């Protein structure tokens, strides 16, 4: 599928290379417009709830926003996309995955790359909550991979009308190994710290041994708590790269070749239903560069562009 592309991405001179793009996208703060919305709670299985931040909207479209590993509905990149969608008049459901953000303490089981049933439950809730409206799901990083698995593999679950995945990790094993080397250790240790903080808020969480990497965390916590035999079992069953070929609905893939740990080269063949927008530069969910009308958050501009384009195709 070929869609009109947004204005070209040109990296900012003050953010050269993948590491500056990735790190500064998180560290450089911009003023945030408060996003109107109210909390709603969705039980995804007995005793396990998600907290959703919901803005009603006025158009025929509802945008479901899904954060990456260590994030939540209040993460700056998610709030920026929510603010843009609300400004357009769309309904927005910003999701806190299990136990994250303001949903801390509401779930005992971990969220993980293969938790497509949780995403499908949110989609089904959106259908019931907003009957007759178009549902477009947008996922970043880990949630981008979840959307690929949902739409490319798990066709029996509730599906969005269209979706967009930003920088999905295509091969979890290779991705985690990359983070053990060089400057990528910065990301590995950051994710490890965030996941330790997450577990601290989980009721009755098991005590964890001394862990040194995200791979260690996935072996000691994610895999056993999520029902996988091992880390390798989790990585093998939940790597999304091979499932881009199975997507059967309008889908946009935005990825970069210089992503320091989840490059677009890890992704497999794509379905004719997928519009692949692959940038040479941009880092991991960075894309710091000029956007039309001013500003330097090209990623959020591109997400907005593709949401509007997808709306016209569904």
Q: What angle do CA 287, 169, 240 make, to 5 degrees?
A: 135
> Into how many domains does the chain fold?
1
- Which domain covers residue 135, as residue numbers? 17-171+242-311
Residue 201 lies in a domain: no
CA within 13 Å, CB half, 76: 13
Q: What is the pLDDT of residue 34?
A: 75
Q: What is the pLDDT of residue 46?
A: 95
Ramachandran angles phi, psi of 216, nearest 5°: -60, -45
Here the CATH number for the domain that contains residue 300 is 3.40.50.1820
Per-residue pLDDT in tens (0 to 9) along the chain, 314 residues: 899 999 999 999 999 999 999 999 999 977 777 777 899 999 999 999 999 999 999 999 999 999 999 999 999 999 999 999 999 999 999 999 999 999 999 999 999 999 999 999 999 999 999 999 999 999 999 999 999 999 999 999 999 999 999 999 999 999 999 999 999 999 999 999 999 999 988 988 888 999 999 999 999 999 999 999 999 999 999 999 999 999 999 999 999 999 999 999 999 999 999 999 999 999 999 999 999 988 999 999 999 999 999 999 99
Q: What is the pLDDT of residue 36?
A: 73
Cβ(165)–Cβ(273) below 8 Å: no
**In Å, what is the CA distance from 113 to each residue of 108, 126, 142, 203, 294?**
16, 21, 6, 21, 35
8-state DSSP, 245: G
Q: What is the pLDDT of residue 37?
A: 83
**In Å, what is the CA distance from 306 to each residue of 3, 138, 301?**
8, 10, 9
Q: What is the pLDDT of residue 285?
A: 98
Q: What is the pLDDT of residue 32?
A: 73
Q: What is the pLDDT of residue 30?
A: 76
Residue 203 lies in a domain: no
Question: How far is residue 21's CA from residue 284's CA, in Å, rounded to a whole number?
Answer: 7
CB-neighbour burial class of residue 47 (10 A; exposed 0-12, middle 13-18, buried 19+): exposed
Name 289's Cβ contacts closer than 8 Å, sequence gap at least 6. Answer: 9, 10, 11, 12, 15, 296, 298
Residue 108 lies in a domain: yes
Q: What is the pLDDT of residue 242?
A: 97
Predicted TM-score (pTM) of this structure:
0.97
Residue 205 lies in a domain: no
Question: How far is residue 312's CA from residue 291's CA, in Å, rounded to a whole number?
Answer: 22
Cβ(166)–Cβ(262) below 8 Å: no
Residue 95 lies in a domain: yes
Residue 72 lies in a domain: yes
Cβ(43)–Cβ(51) below 8 Å: no
**In Å, what is the CA distance from 304 to each residue of 3, 19, 138, 267?**
14, 24, 10, 23
């Amino acid at each position: 599928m070929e869609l009109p592309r947004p204005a070209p991405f040109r990296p900012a001179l003050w953010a050269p290379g993948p590491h500056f793009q990735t790190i500064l996208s998180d560290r450089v703060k911009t003023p945030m417009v408060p996003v109107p919305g109210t909390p709603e709670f969705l039980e995804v299985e007995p005793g396990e709830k998600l907290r959703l931040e919901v803005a009603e909207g006025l158009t025929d479209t509802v945008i479901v926003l899904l954060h990456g590993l260590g994030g939540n509905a209040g993460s700056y990149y998610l709030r920026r996309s929510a603010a843009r969608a609300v400004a357009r008049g769309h309904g927005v459901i910003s999701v806190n995955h299990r136990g994250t953000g303001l949903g801390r303490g509401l779930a005992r089981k971990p969220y993980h790359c293969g938790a497509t049933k949780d995403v499908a439950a949110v989609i089904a809730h959106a259908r019931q909550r907003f009957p007759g409206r178009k549902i477009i799901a947008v996922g970043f990083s880990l949630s981008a991979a979840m959307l690929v698995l949902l739409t490319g593999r798990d066709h029996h679950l509730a599906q969005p009308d269209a979706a967009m995945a930003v920088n999905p990790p295509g091969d979890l094993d290779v991705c985690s190994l990359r983070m053990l080397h060089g400057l990528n250790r910065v990301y590995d240790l950051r994710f490890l710290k965030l996941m330790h903080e997450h577990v601290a808020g989980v009721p009755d969480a098991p005590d964890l041994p001394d862990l040194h990497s995200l791979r260690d965390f996935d072996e000691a916590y994610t895999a056993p708590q999520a029902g996988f035999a091992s880390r390798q079992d989790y990585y093998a069953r939940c790597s999304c790269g091979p499932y881009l070929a199975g997507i059967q609905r309008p889908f946009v893939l935005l990825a970069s070749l210089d992503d320091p740990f989840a490059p677009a080269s890890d992704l497999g063949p794509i379905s004719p239903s997928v519009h692949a927008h692959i940038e040479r530069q941009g880092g991991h969910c960075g894309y710091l560069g000029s956007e039309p009308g001013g500003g330097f958050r090209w990623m959020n501009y591109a997400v907005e562009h593709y949401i509007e384009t997808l709306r016209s195709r569904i």
